[in-house]
Chain A
Amino acid sequence: MTRLFRIGIAAAAILTLAALPASAALRVVTTTEDLAAIAREVGGDKVEVTALARGYQDPHFVEPKPSFILAVSRADLVIAVGRELEIGWLPTLLTSGRNAKVQPGSNGYLDASLNVKILEIPTGQITRAMGDVHPQGNPHYWLDPANGRLIAQAVRDRLSLLDAADKAFFAQRYDDFSSRLGVAEKRWDAMMAPYKGTKIVTYHRSWPNFMDRFGLVVMGYVEPKPGIPPSPSHTLELITDMKAQGVKLIVVEPYFDKKTPLAIASQVGGRVLELAPSVGGTKEAADYIKLFDYDVSALAAALKSVTGK
């Protein structure tokens, strides 16, 4: 056994030595690509950002792969969406990551949801009979550009705390991002203005912040309850409601099956539109501003075709 053990230790030592030398940039690990995109906007070349979940992946169901443990173990800062979005996978990564710097409560852990606008915070008794409800509110809050700006502020402040020497750099990068976002927001608002008040249906409750921001009304969901797959009775009910209210558009996330949405759309004479719920959700959504560029123009085009406005 001892011989085997020695060989093991030797192999491990060689592998450790072979590891690349650490770079000077702050190593930032984010749970999603949206947070990674914002961290890159603010951190520039002073940060090295890794996102764990991909933008086309359901962020509720991410596997805590050991490769993620490695990323967490090397991180100087972990940024999470929070609101229990990552409850099934982040805690185990943080424990296995063996990195005291990034444990919740440390400066190296940032819950990005703490100063943003959160919708759908349940106020009374909640039970799982309501489906996969998030007791701390809807975690898909990054889909409002105003929240994107608030996340960027939190990232700027935290990076400045960890790397005080580059405080002015982060401040300048943030200001630049914020003003570019401001210009883009005017463009998006103008594109969506004609459709204010239009009713749509979405698959999951991923879009309250987005639809709220652009004045659209979500009148129903393909899922009968959050996290519960479509049921025939709910689908029939939804079709009836959509027909009664003249709703023609169903927005679907890339990670859901389109069979039921397509069936509903054909019943109501409407259409199904796949939007990117996150940066990386589609090729075109390469950064935070491009995410909205893609979603807003796709949504405006689809609404134009179904409403004729």
Chain B
Amino acid sequence: MTRVSCTVLALASLMTLAGARLAAAAQSQPSPVPAASDVQSLREELTRLKSEFDAIRRQYDERLLALEQRLGQLTGGPSVPAEVSPQVPSDPGPQSPAVPDSGSQASSAAGASSKVFNPDTSVIGNFIGAAGRNPFSTEPPLQLTEAEVAFQAVVDPYARADFYLAAGPEGLEVEEGFITFTALPSNLLMKAGKMRASFGKVNTLHTHGMPTVDRPLVTMNLVGGEEGLSDSGVSVSRLFPNPYVFLEATGEVYAGRSGVFRTDSRSRLNYVGHLRAYRDLTEDKNIDLGASFALGPSEGLVEPVLLSDVAAPPTLNRQLFGIDATFRYRPLRRAIYQRLNVRTELVWSRQDQASLVPTTAFGWYGLGEYQFARRWYAGLRLDRSGRAFDPSLVDNGGSVFLTFWPTEFSQIRSQYRRTNYAEGRSANELLFQLNFSIGAHGAHAF
């Protein structure tokens, strides 16, 4: 395209613009004789349009100049200094070595000076399909269940911050948003904000970090379902260095407004404690054990008939106690081709009832996942869980799943799930998941 045709184009677009505005102006005033104020406003409009036109012309001139520079480069002619070199060296053979001295770094940083302090940003999509009948599930056949946006950066020499915003069919919510103080003395690490509580393993994982499409039955029945034990609070954890095991103790206090605990009182909080012990058995085998405890307000079943006799509503609590164990095998030499994870979590729930004895429910899952090729994982999960308010109802289930892992940034997973509900009905379902991420490279979970 030549400069002339560009200018013509710009002129034409301007005329269209001006025409439209004039037409609009004409429409808005039906009187054939324009009043003085209208003439004035038209004049102003014209001045504005003129300046717009000038701006557009300047833009086109600049773009034309840039194009000419590119053309000069491509034809190898006299190179006009270009602002960007548009090619990534696709030929990886020996090239002129670029020595990144502080100067070149400074210049590249200067080019993006407004961006250098921007947080690392990434977006993860979680697209789920479900087929088969389940009398207790209303999941649609296809759904983008979550678009998770993560912002992560260092705050100052003492802290870093992580935000995970999850947009789903229910709207946008802060899945996690917390500050981590990394510079505390005596092996302490403190977090404050909204976060997933350190209760067991599954509760700390984001949906896209799960080895399966869904969460285990025990999580759904006893530990807050998909949302889990996730609340606003403060977490303090400490390492206890010793020559035998990695030992970490975590204590957390939450507002008591999560999928498990609920209260309107400011004085009734939710406390979570977690103890983790980890040991390398060999360089490629390790074992990871945890014990978790949670105590917080939960009103239990609403029993209006029974409660009507009571003057003040009783202080009802729920306690959760959990044990988790993970065995991992990953031969270092074959680390990208083979690995085995075996994990189990056991959860006991004790729910106070207004006028009855507390109900105690138990649930567990066992999961094994084996990577058998660079891009393939297969796994199995067994589920069993009572229900928090009626432990006589026990659900059972089992799943097999297969994951195809094209790159670190996308995963395709299918899962066959059979659930036998306590009411005597069963569900056979085929689940399908597509996980994909763009943006900054996140750290891998362990």
Interface residues of A (CB under 8 A from B): 1, 4-5, 8, 12, 15-16, 18-20, 54, 56-58, 61-67, 69-70, 73-74, 84, 87-89, 91-92, 94-96, 98, 100, 103-106, 114-115, 117-126, 128, 130, 132-133, 137, 205, 208, 211-212, 217-219, 221, 227-229, 254-257
Contact = CB atoms under 8 A, between A and B. Distances in A.
Given A67-B278, A98-B239, A125-B88, A15 B247 contact: yes
Interface in B324-342: 330, 332-337
A256 B338 CA distance: 12
B98 interface: yes
Interface in B315-369: 330, 332-337
Contacts of A63: 330, 335, 444, 446
B295 A66 contact: no
Contacts of A64: 443-444, 446
B94 interface: yes
A8 B277 CA distance: 12
B86 interface: yes
A18 B239 contact: no
6 contacts: A15-B244, A18-B243, A18-B244, A65-B278, A66-B246, A88-B441
B342 to A, nearest CB: 16
A98 B374 CA distance: 34
A119 B275 contact: no
A132 B407 CA distance: 9
Nearest to A255: B333
A255 B247 contact: no
Given A15-B240, A64-B443, A70 B246 contact: yes
Given A57-B335, A63-B446, A103 B86 contact: no
Nearest to B441: A87
A206 to B, nearest CB: 11
B268 to A, nearest CB: 16
A20 B244 CA distance: 11
A276 to B, nearest CB: 12
B408 interface: yes
Contacts of A56: 332-333
Contacts of B188: 98
A63 B158 CA distance: 25
B335 A255 contact: yes
Interface in B123-153: none
8 closest A-B pairs by beta carbon, nearest first, are A100-B183, A15-B242, A66-B246, A66-B278, A12-B240, A92-B443, A57-B332, A122-B88
B42 interface: no
Nearest to B293: A1
B380 interface: no
Nearest to B375: A229
Contacts of A95: 160, 180, 182, 189
A123 B88 contact: yes
Given A88-B442, A118-B97, A257-B374, 16 more contacts: A15-B245, A66-B288, A66-B446, A67-B246, A67-B278, A69-B246, A70-B239, A73-B239, A98-B184, A105-B157, A106-B157, A118-B100, A123-B89, A128-B438, A205-B92, A255-B335
Contact of A217 (B85, B94, B407, B441): B94
Contact of B93 (A61, A218, A254, A257): A218
B224 to A, nearest CB: 20
B273 interface: yes
Contacts of A84: 441
Given A54-B332, A63-B444, A221 B374 contact: no
A119 B97 contact: yes
A100 B374 CA distance: 37
Nearest to A207: B92
Contacts of A5: 273
B182 A100 contact: yes
B242 to A, nearest CB: 4
**Majority SS at the chain B contact face:** loop
B99 A61 contact: no
A100 B248 CA distance: 18
A87 B288 contact: no
Nearest to B96: A119
Contact of B243 (A19, A98, A115, A137): A19
A54 B335 CA distance: 11
B187 interface: yes
B98 to A, nearest CB: 5
Given A1-B293, A56-B332, A255-B335, A208 B242 contact: no
Contacts of A254: 333
B283 interface: yes
A23 to B, nearest CB: 13
Interface string B63-100: 00000000000000000000011111100111101111
A89 B409 contact: no
B249 interface: yes
B62 interface: no
Nearest to B88: A122
A64 B443 CA distance: 9
A130 B442 CA distance: 18
B241 interface: yes
A11 to B, nearest CB: 8
Nearest to B442: A88
B286 interface: yes
B97 A212 contact: yes
B326 to A, nearest CB: 11
A122 B93 CA distance: 14
A121 B100 contact: yes
A137 B88 CA distance: 11
Nearest to B437: A128
Interface string B146-185: 0000000010011010000000000000000000101110
A138 to B, nearest CB: 8
Contacts of A74: 241
A175 to B, nearest CB: 23
A82 to B, nearest CB: 11
Contacts of A61: 335-336
B389 to A, nearest CB: 23
A132 B408 contact: yes
B61 interface: no
Contacts of B246: 66-67, 69-70
Contacts of A16: 240-242
Contacts of A119: 95, 97-98
A2 B243 CA distance: 27
Of B94, B101, B184, most A-chain CB atoms within 10 Å: B94
Interface string B217-240: 000000000000000000000011
B390 interface: no
A124 B85 contact: yes
Of A95, A98, A257, most B-chain CB atoms within 10 Å: A98
